[in-house]
Chain A
């Protein structure tokens, strides 16, 4: 099973932009959720709670990498951790 990547991000955050650029450069498909752009308050709260539950706190970017057996969460722009989880 291919790894599924979801990024909780903010459209105004510099480290989020770097994370998205890193994923693009490495041709990794990812679902990018720009939390600040969600207009519906209930949806925003749901997504925020989801991101917080994954990382243990609300922080951007939060990158969630899933495969069949494992789920890994990377917080902040961490190219070394993304390389380890996504390119090896």
Chain B
């Protein structure tokens, strides 16, 4: 990819993310220099890994292991709540967007590799201690978007979360 192509793809991605953020009630960082650079990073990661891995974390290159850091990552909303910005500062809260507060580098909340592997294994393994899966009308499965918490009752998760646009594989079966 030439530098020109990278810039053009990053600008298009920025526009798309900005539109989707607005539709879902999120705010893309208005700092054009920062956001532009991060979008270039996202474009590079799509080319490198085939998915939009977080530009500020080291991806493994294996989608299943990196699901939690595909942008928007699983940690965006807790970081927005606690720090007013996501780990990369691609998404910010209204105070930062309005210039009332400055975006700062926030501490990493992603668990370590071992904890993540254990959590993936536990999610797959059947266990009597697990809570009962929720059921919608007519016994329909209930799916939860791990990025934004959107819930829906349907046989399978939607292809994309209608709120945050996360892909189908970011959904989990919701249990009480």
| Chain A residues packing against B (C-beta within 8 Å) | 10-17, 35-36, 48, 57-60, 75-78
Of A12, A35, A48, A59, most B-chain CB atoms within 10 Å: A12
Question: Measured between alpha carbons, how far is A35 from B42 in the docked complex, in Å?
Answer: 16
Contact among A14, A57, A78 for B56, CB-based, below 8 A: A14
CB distance from B123 to the nearest CB of A (A): 22
Partner of A76, one of B55, B107, B113: B107
Q: Which of A14, A57, A59, A76 contacts B38 (CB 8 A)?
A: A14
Contact sample, A vs B, 16 pairs, CB 8 Å cutoff: A10-B57, A11-B41, A12-B41, A12-B42, A12-B44, A12-B56, A14-B41, A14-B55, A15-B89, A16-B56, A36-B58, A48-B58, A57-B112, A59-B108, A75-B107, A77-B105
CB closest residue in chain B, given A78? B105
Q: Mark B49-79, 1 if CB is under 8 A from A, else 0.
A: 0000001111100000000000000000000
Does B58 lie within 8 Å of A57, measured CB to CB? no
Please indicate which of the listed interface residues A14, A15, A36, A60 has the most CB atoms of chain B within 10 Å of its own CB. Answer: A14
User: If the complex has contacts A57-B108, A59-B108, are A14 and B89 also in contact, measured as CB distance less than 8 A?
Assistant: yes
Tell me the bound Cα distance from A52 to B173 in angstroms: 33
Taken together as a complex, chains A and B put the C-alpha atoms of A48 and B45 apart, in Å, by 18
Q: With the chains together, A57 CA to B110 CA distance in Å?
A: 9
Binding site for A on B (CB under 8 A): 34, 37-38, 40-42, 44-45, 48, 55-59, 88-90, 104-108, 112-113
Q: A13-B41, A57-B112 are in contact. List 19 more A-B contacts (CB 8 A).
A: A10-B41, A10-B55, A10-B57, A11-B44, A12-B41, A12-B42, A13-B56, A14-B37, A14-B38, A14-B88, A15-B89, A35-B58, A36-B48, A58-B113, A59-B107, A60-B57, A75-B107, A76-B107, A78-B105
Nearest-Cβ distance from residue A40 to partner chain B, whole angstroms: 14
CA distance A76 to B109 in the complex (A): 12
Q: Name which of B55, B56, B108 has the most chain A CB atoms within 10 A of its CB.
A: B56
In this complex, what residue of A is CB-closest to B33? A14
Rounded to whole angstroms, the CA-CA distance of A15 and B112 in the bound complex is 20
Residues of B within 8 A of A14 (CB): 34, 37-38, 41, 55-56, 88-90
